[in-house]
Amino acid sequence: MTSVSCQPGHAGQQLSAPTAAKSVEDTAFYRYGRLISRNEVGTEPDQFAITPAAFHAAQALRARHAPRALLATATHDHKRGEDARMRLAVLSEIPEEWEAALARWMRLNAPLKRDLDGPAPDAADEIMLYQTLVGAWPLGLTADQPEALAAFEQRVTEWQEKALREAKRHSGWAAPNVEYEQACRDFLHSVLDPARAAQIVQDMAAFAARLARPGAINSLAQTLLRLTCPGVPDLYQGCEFWDFSLVDPDNRRPVDFAARQAALDRATGRASGENPASVADLLASWEDGRIKQALIHQALSLRARAPGLFGGGRYIKLRCEGALCEHILAFGRVQEGRGAIVLATRQAAKLPGTDGAPVVATAAWKDTCVILPSGFSGRTLVDALGGAPETRWTTRLFIHSVLQRLPVALLEVQ
């Protein structure tokens, strides 16, 4: 055994991280199920949300003191994929719908439980299971796809076993409670049985579809923020497309890099010799995930053209006005005469959409606008994502003109 000598106080520093990991991330996160998108490595679940003002203040602080700090939204150790979290975050916007769905499912599925000196699964495990199902539900999965449904069930079964053992309430790694775990597996299998008269699978598929559009808006916003806020953006393998993975080993499955390369070649025109497709051109087929990859590519291309702007540029909060001003997050990056404006739709669950696509209906924005700083007024703004026409603006940037084809915009100031 190798001995390690420590100065006073060093032992606490060495123990704090693993203690927090095992007590909070690998125990409490599997017990506390209010909103499991908050139960993620590095987060504080008791901080349910922050205001846009607090977000802007935090980013301005990062720009001044930590402009090269890492910006990561997915790792090999995340509890659930970055896009699953963004979908689950929608539940906070529609609590009444979620409460009704929970009550309905818990009532209809009560006969599926076993009595092991108490219900198995108990209410806490059951509610976390439902959130896991709707958060990770594959896009387009329906009850009439038995093979795909079985594959999804297997992924959730593996998550469930780990969740029960990590929670250490009814089971554990050292002494697994085989009976309770089997009851939970049987419960999950019955819940996802499309032959049941209760038609729970159809109901869950419909609810997951309800979350999909605003969830995708959240995901595109999160992706753009990671690439444009102060810091160095990190991309975990496979997350170029939608990532609805669960905790390991699910988040470490083999990545189809060939499919991602082929999609990038098509989007850039390298495969056909044609003109590159814009991010907005992929909106109609958003469910295949190529729109997210194209956004990453175009944003990184702008960063490559203006490395100083994003690597060390100032962060400027932009003020919004109008009917839906609370649904827009806007900021600018500025350095030595160069500039960029970032716009992202927020809390879109109750806003009207367009043909099920992850974009808010143009007319809904009404007079919503962003007030441009004096240095941007009158200059040409070019959307690097192809969602807005190239134009000159004076003092107000109207959202109905900029976010016609996408829920986000990255405007290069020329």
Q: Cβ(129)–Cβ(121) under 8 Å?
A: yes
Contacts of 118 (CB under 8 A, 6+ apart): none
The residues pairing with 176 across neighbouring beta strands, listed in sequence order, are none
Distance, CA of 153 to CA of 184 (rounded, Å): 12
Backbone angles phi, psi at 26, to 5 degrees: -105, 15
Residue given tokens 């991280």 in the structure block: 17
Distance, CA of 280 to CA of 357 (rounded, Å): 11
Nearest to residue 414, comparing CAs of 370, 384, 369, 371? 384
For residue 186, what are its two tokens?
């049987």
Distance, CA of 211 to CA of 84 (rounded, Å): 10
Q: What is the pLDDT of residue 6?
A: 46
Maximum Cα–Cα distance across the chain: 72
Distance, CA of 114 to CA of 193 (rounded, Å): 17
Q: What is the pLDDT of residue 399?
A: 96
Distance, CA of 327 to CA of 243 (rounded, Å): 24
Per DSSP, the three-state class of 343 is strand
Q: What is the pLDDT of residue 321?
A: 97
Nearest to residue 359, comparing CAs of 406, 398, 323? 406
Backbone angles phi, psi at 393, to 5 degrees: -125, 155
Q: What is the pLDDT of residue 271?
A: 67
The residues pairing with 382 across neighbouring beta strands, listed in sequence order, are 412
- Tell me the pLDDT of the chain (414 aa) as tens digits: 333 344 555 666 677 777 777 787 778 888 899 999 999 888 887 788 899 999 999 999 999 999 999 999 999 999 999 999 999 999 999 999 999 999 999 999 999 999 999 999 999 999 999 999 999 999 999 999 999 999 999 999 999 999 999 999 999 999 999 999 999 999 999 999 999 988 999 999 999 999 999 999 999 999 999 999 999 999 999 999 999 999 999 999 999 999 999 999 988 887 666 778 889 999 999 999 999 999 999 999 999 999 999 999 999 999 999 999 999 999 999 998 889 999 999 999 999 988 889 999 999 999 999 999 887 877 889 999 988 777 777 889 999 999 999 999 999 998
User: Tens digits of per-residue pLDDT, 53-103?
Assistant: 999 999 999 999 999 999 999 999 999 999 999 999 999 999 999 999 999
- Go through the chain and tell me how many residues it has: 414
Domain ranges of the chain: 17-41+86-208
Q: How far is CA 342 from CA 37, 164, 330, 345, 412, in A?
A: 24, 41, 6, 10, 9
Computed over every residue of the chain, the mean pLDDT equals: 92
Residue given tokens 């009704």 in the structure block: 100
Distance, CA of 162 to CA of 247 (rounded, Å): 9
User: Tens digits of per-residue pLDDT, 178-189?
Assistant: 999 999 999 999
